[in-house]
Structure 1
Amino acid sequence: MSWRKKIPQAAQDYLEQNRLDEVECVVADLPGIARGKAVPAAKWEKQSHFHLPNSIFFQTITGGWGEAAGPEGFVEPDMVLKPDMNTATAAPWTDDGTLQVIHDAFTTDGKPVGFAPRNVLKRVVAAYKRAGFTPVVAPEMEFYLVARNTDPAKAIEPMMGRTGRPAAGRQAYSMTAVDDYGPVIDDIYEFAEIQGFEIDGITQEGGAGQLEINLLHGDPVDLADQVFYFKRLIKEAALKHDCFATFMAKPIEDEPGSAMHVHHSILDADGQNIFTGPQGGETDAFFYFIGGLQDYLPSVIAMLAPYVNSYRRYVRDHAAPINLEWGRDNRTTGIRIPISTPEARRIENRLAGMDSNPYLCIAASLACGLQGIRKEIRPDKRFKGDAYDGEDDIPVGLYTALDLFDEAKDLHKLLGEDFARVYSIVKRAEYDEFLQVISPWEREHLLLNV
C-alpha cells in the first residue's frame, strides 16, 4: 500500500472518498489515443510493471498498421510499461472507484522506447537540461461540442443548447454562448477539480459550439500529460449530456478550425527567464528562439498537423495562421509575442492543431526553438499589420509535410531517429488509407461530369 503515498494529493483525496476498484494503466500512442490495460485494484497493488507489444505505436488512426517494425520483422515484441506515480489521477466519470496512471515504455533491456511519444518529449526536455535550461510551456486547447454523430456520411453539426436551438456561432467571448452549454462546462470543471487539474479559464471561441480551455504554465511533460488527460475528460463530460466533444482540426465547414496554441519560455539555472535581460529588454536567445521556429517549423508541420483534415484549418482570414511571420500582440501571425511583463516574456506558436498528439506537438515546437538557440538563427523582420496579406508558408497537405519531415535529419537527431522513421511510415500508411475512401465531393462532381 506504500504506493498510495507516492501519488498526487488529489488522487489520495479521491481514494479517501472512493473504494479503489480498478486501475487503468495507460500509454499514449502516436495519435495520442490512450492504450493499455484495466487492472483490478488487488492485482495493481502487487505489480510494478506490465507488458504490451511495441506494435501499438505502429497503428494508424483507422486501426490499420504501418510497416514500421524494422529489420527484425513484425514479431511484436513486448515492451515493459512502468508507472509514473506522479500521473495518477481519478477517472471520476466511472461508476466504480478508478484511477488512471500514465506509464513509460521501455525495451526489455531497460532502454526507453524511442518512438513512444512521451519519451520523445522527455528526450527534447533532456537536451534543454544539458544546455543548462528549463523549458516552460502553457498550452491552449480549442475544441467543439457537437451533436451526436453516428453516421460518418452526415455533416457534423453544433450541439443543441439549453435554449433548444443549436449552439450559437461566431459569438467569440460571449458569456451567453458559454451559458448555453453550461451543464457540460460544469462537469468539465468538476472532473478537472477531482483530478487535480487547474483550469486558467474557459472562453467561447469563434465557431458554433467552439470552446477554449487555457492551462497554467509549467513543465512540458506535465502539461502534455494534462492535455492527454483533458481530451478524455472533456469527451466524457460531453457524452454525459448527449453530445460529442471533438478535437478535429476542422470539424465543420465554414467554421474556424481548432488549434492548440503553445506558449514557451525558458529558465536558466537560476530560474531567470532567458528571453529577458537584466534591464528588462529582449535578449539574443529570445530572437534566436523565434528564428528557430521560422526555420524549422515547416519540417515538423507533419507533427503539428498530423492528418489530411488538419490542412483544412490553414485558410486565409479564417482564424488560423498561413505563414511563419512573427509579430507583437498580433493574432494573424503564426508566431505571436503576447503582452506580458518582462519576467513572463514568452513566445506563442499558433500553428499546431488540436488534433495533434500533445507530447509530439510540444516536443516539435521546443526542438525548433532549441535549434534556433544552438545555431543563433536570427528571425525575419517583425511583421506589422495583417499577416494574411503575406505569402503562404504552410505545406498544402500531409504528403508534402511528410517529405519536409523526412529531409530534416538534424531534427531527427534531437527528436530521435527511430521515432522519425516510425512516424513517417505510420503517417504515410494513414495517407494511403485515406486515398482508398471516395468523398461526397467526388461523387457529386465527378460521377456524371467527367
Structure 2
Amino acid sequence: MSKKKRAGLRDAIADRRGATDVEAAREWVDERGIEELECLIPDQAGVARGKIMPAQKFFQSPTMNLPSSIFHQTISGGYADEDEPGGGDPTDADVVLEPDWSTLSTVPWANDPTAQIIHDAYHRDGRPVEVSPRSLLKRVIDLYGHKGWSPIIAPEIEFYLVKPNTDPDYPLEPPIGRSGRPETGRQSYSISAVNEFDELFEDIYSFSEAQGLEIDTLIHEEGAAQMEINLRHGAPLELADQVFLFKRTIREAALKHKMYATFMAKPIANQPGSAMHIHQSVRNAKTGDNIFSDPNGKPTSEFFAFLAGTQKYLPAVMCVLAPYVNSYRRLTRQSSAPINVQWGYDNRTTGIRVPPSGAEARRVENRVPSSDANPYLAIAASLACGYLGMVEGLTPTEPIDGSAHGLDYDLPRGLLEAVSAFENCEPLQDVFGRTFTATYGAIKRAEFETFMRVISPWEREYLLLNV
C-alpha cells in the first residue's frame, strides 16, 4: 500500500464506518446502495453469529431475536452440559439483539452490496446478557469509569498463512509466495518475505479501508509465513470490535488468494506460536492524563499497582487468554512465548513488558494472550487484572533484567488447570459475574472432553507398538 493511501485511511474512517442512530444508518445504507445486512454478534469463541437479511427488511425491525444457546456453544459446534452449573437455559429462550449503530460498515468482499453491524444482547427485561462477551467487556469498562478512569489499549495480532488443508490429519504447511517457493527458515522482520504476499496484503489494506479499520503496522514475525498486524491505540470496546472484524477480513482476503489465514495459537510444530499482545494504559476520565505518570514524568503508584494486579491475577484468567488445548502448546520454555508473570522494562522474555516510551505513553504490555482468544474476553480479562491491582493497592515484584525463560512456570500448563483457577478466584468472580464464570467453565470442560475423544499422531507413533 502506498504512503498516500495509508495517510488517507485515517481520514476515511469517519466517512466509511458508523452511524449515530437508525435514521443515520438508513441514510448511510441508501447512499451506498446496500442490499443486504449481516447482523453480527460474537459468541464465546469470537465467532460471528447472527442473521443476514435484506436491508429494507432490517430497517422495518432492527431489533431481532436469537436463541440464548449461541452463548453456550463450543468451538466444535456442541454445547455445554445442561445439567452442569452454567450449562445454559434448558428452555433455550430467545435473547434480544440490538444494533450498535457505530459499528455499521461495508462487507467489501461480498458479491452484492452488503453491510455489517455488530449487535449487543439483552434479556427481555432490558438487562444485558451476562454471558455475552461484548457485555462483559462493557462491564469491566464501567468498573474503570466508576473510579474516574478510562482505559486505553492497543492490540497486536499474529497469524500464519498456510496452504489450503482439507484433511486435519495432515500437518499445515507454508503457502507458495510470488517467488514460487514456500518459506523454510525463519524471516523475522523481513521485508522481502512480506513482499512474497504483496497482492494479499494489498487486499487486506483495501478491505480494511473500506470498513474504516486502521492498521498501524504490518511485519513478518518469526515463523514461516507468520505475520503480525498492529492496531492504533484507542478505547477497549472499539478496538475489540476492530480485532473481531480484522480476523474476519484477513481470513476472507487469504481465501481470495487460495490460502488460509489461521489464528491458532500453535498451528505448526517446531514453529513459534501466535500471540495477541495487549498494550494497556489508563487515563483520568476528566483530564485525559495518563495516570501511570505523575506531573514530573515518573511512574505512579497506580502504574505499579496495575503491574502487580496483572502479576497476581494472570494465572487465574489463563483459560480466557489461552482458551483451547492447543493454546498451551505455545507457552513452553523452548519457545519465545512467556511462561511466567515476571515483568521487566523492555524485556520480551517476561509475561509483562513495559515498553520504552515517554511519560504520556507509559503503558503495560501483556504478552501472555494467544491469538486464538476472543478479543472481547481477552481485553476484559487483561484489564480486570490491572483494575484489581489498583483497587487493592498491590505492589509488584522487582523487575527482571535478564531472561525470564529459565525461571519457574507461574502459568497453568493446561486447560483444565486454568479453568479451575478461574472458577476459584473470588475477586475475578465479582468482576466477571458468577453466571459468566460458570458458563465459560462449562464450555471449556465440554471442549476438553471433545478433545479427549481424538487420538493424536503422537499416541500412534509412540504407543502403538511400544506399550
- The match for 1:318 is 335
Q: Distance in 2 between matches of 1:216 and 1:113?
A: 29
Look up the equivalent residue of 1:108 and give its one-letter code.
R
1:204 aligns with 2:228: no
For the pair 1:153 / 2:169, whether they are aligned, the reply is yes
Amino acid at match of 2:60: K
Q: Is the 8 A contact 1:294 1:324 kept in 2?
A: yes
RMSD of equivalent CA atoms? 1.9
For 2:271 and 2:141, the matched residues in 1 are separated by 35
Does the CA contact (< 8 Å) of 2:99 and 2:119 recur in 1? Answer: yes
SS of aligned partner of 1:340: coil
Cα–Cα, structure 1 residues 338 and 11, in superposed 2: closer, same or farther, change >3 Å? farther
Aligned-residue sequence identity (percent) comes to 51
TM-score (norm 1): 0.96
Contact 2:86–2:440 (8 Å) recurs in 1? no
Residue in structure 1 matching 2:129, options 113, 133, 142: 113
Q: How far off its partner does 1:446 sit?
A: 1.1
Question: Structure 1 50/146 Cα, relative in aligned 2: closer, same or farther at 3 Å?
Answer: same
Match of residue 295, structure 1, among 309, 312, 318: 312
1:70: Cα distance to partner?
A: 5.5
Distance in 1 separating the partners of 2:30 and 2:269 = 47
Q: Residue 396 of structure 1 aligns to a residue in which SS?
A: coil
Deviations 1:26-50 (A, max 9, x none): 1000000000000111101211300
Aligned to 1:34: 48
**Correspondences of 1:257-276 after superposition (within 5 Å):** 257-268=273-284, 269-276=286-293
Task: Quote the Cα distance in structure 2 between the aligned partners of 1:179 and 1:71.
Answer: 47
1:224 to 216, 220, 240: 240
Shift in CA distance, 12/50, structure 1 to aligned 2, threshold 3 Å: closer
Kindly indicate whether the alpha-carbon contact (under 8 Å) linking 2:88 and 2:439 is maintained by their aligned counterparts in 1. no
Q: Which runs of 5+ in 2 are unaligned?
A: 1-16
Say whether the 8 Å CA contact 1:169–1:209 is kept in structure 2.
no
1:120-131 to structure 2, matched below 5 A, reads: 120-131=136-147
The answer (yes or no) to whether the contact 1:170–1:207 under 8 Å persists in 2 is yes
- State the SS of the aligned residue for 1:262: strand
CA deviations on 1:237-271 (whole Å, 9 max, x unpaired) are 00000000000000000000000000000001211
User: Any idea what SS the aligned residue of 1:137 has?
Assistant: strand
Give the drift of 1:13. 11
**Deviation larger for 12-21 or 356-365:** 12-21
Report the CA distance shift for 1:4/1:192 in structure 2 as closer, same or farther (over 3 A). Answer: closer
CA distance in structure 2 between the aligned counterparts of 1:62 and 1:29, rounded to whole angstroms = 13
Tell me, yes or no, if the aligned pair for 1:58 and 1:67 is still in contact at 8 Å.
no
1:67 Cα shift?
Answer: 2.3
* Corresponding residue for residue 57 of structure 2: 43
Work out whether 1:389 is the aligned partner of 2:406: yes
Contact kept? 2:322, 2:373, Cα under 8 Å: yes
Q: CA offset at residue 15 of structure 1?
A: 5.0
Does the CA-based 8 Å contact 1:4-1:12 persist in structure 2?
A: no
1:193 corresponds to: 209
CA spacing shift, 1:223–1:7, aligned 2, 3 Å:
farther
Match of 2:78 in 1: 64
Letter in 1 for 2:115: L
Tell me if the contact between 1:11 and 1:196 (Cα under 8 Å) persists in the aligned partners.
no
State whether residues 187 and 237 of structure 1, in contact with CA within 8 Å, keep that contact through their aligned partners in structure 2: yes
2:446 is paired with a residue whose SS is: helix
2:438 alignment counterpart:
421
Contact 2:86 / 2:438 at 8 angstroms: preserved in 1?
no
From 75, 79, 94, the counterpart of 2:110: 94
The letter for the 2-side match of 1:37 is K
How does the TM-score come out when normalised to structure 2? 0.93
Report the secondary structure of 1:203's partner residue.
Answer: strand
SS at match of 1:45: helix
Q: Which residue of 1 is the match for residue 14 of structure 2? A: none
Per the TM alignment, residue 138 of structure 1 is displaced from its structure 2 partner at its CA by 0.3
- Asked whether the 8 Å contact 1:11–1:89 carries over to 2, the reply is no
Q: CA deviation at 1:330?
A: 0.8
Q: Is the 1:327–1:382 contact (alpha carbons within 8 Å) kept by the matching residues of 2?
A: yes
From 285, 292, 305, the counterpart of 2:322: 305
Q: Is the 8 A contact 2:86 2:435 kept in 1?
A: no
Counterpart code for 2:69: S
Question: Which amino acid in 2 is paired with 1:6?
Answer: T
Structure 1 residues 316 and 7: alpha-carbon distance in aligned structure 2, compared to 1, 3 A threshold: farther
Q: Distance in 2 between matches of 1:446 and 1:41?
A: 57
Equivalences, count = 447
**What secondary structure, in the 3-state scheme, does the structure 2 residue paired with 1:156 have?**
coil
Instruction: Compute the displacement of 1:11 (Å).
Output: 8.8
Q: Counterpart of 1:101 in 2: which secondary structure?
A: strand
Answer yes or no: is the 8 Å Cα contact 1:145–1:210 preserved in 2.
yes
Deviations 1:88-138 (A, max 9, x none): 111100011111100000011111000000000000000000011000000
Aligned partner of residue 144 in structure 2, secondary structure = helix
Question: Helix, strand or coil: the match of 2:160?
Answer: strand
2: CA distance, partners of 1:389 / 1:303: 25
Q: Distance in 2 between matches of 1:405 and 1:4?
A: 36
Partner SS for 1:238? helix
Q: Distance in 2 between matches of 1:92 and 1:335?
A: 37
Distance (whole Å) between structure 2 residues aligned to residue 95 and residue 169 of structure 1 = 38
Spell out the pairing of 1:331-370 with structure 2 (5 A cutoff).
Answer: 331-370=348-387
1:17 Cα shift? Answer: 7.3
Tell me whether 351-360 or 162-171 shows the greater mean CA deviation.
162-171
Residues in 2 aligned to 1:403 and 1:223: alpha-carbon distance in whole angstroms: 29
Q: For residues 87 and 285 of structure 1, what CA distance do their matches in structure 2 show?
A: 32
User: Which residue identity does 1:155 align to in structure 2?
Assistant: P
Whole-angstrom CA distance in 1 between matches of 2:87 and 2:454: 31
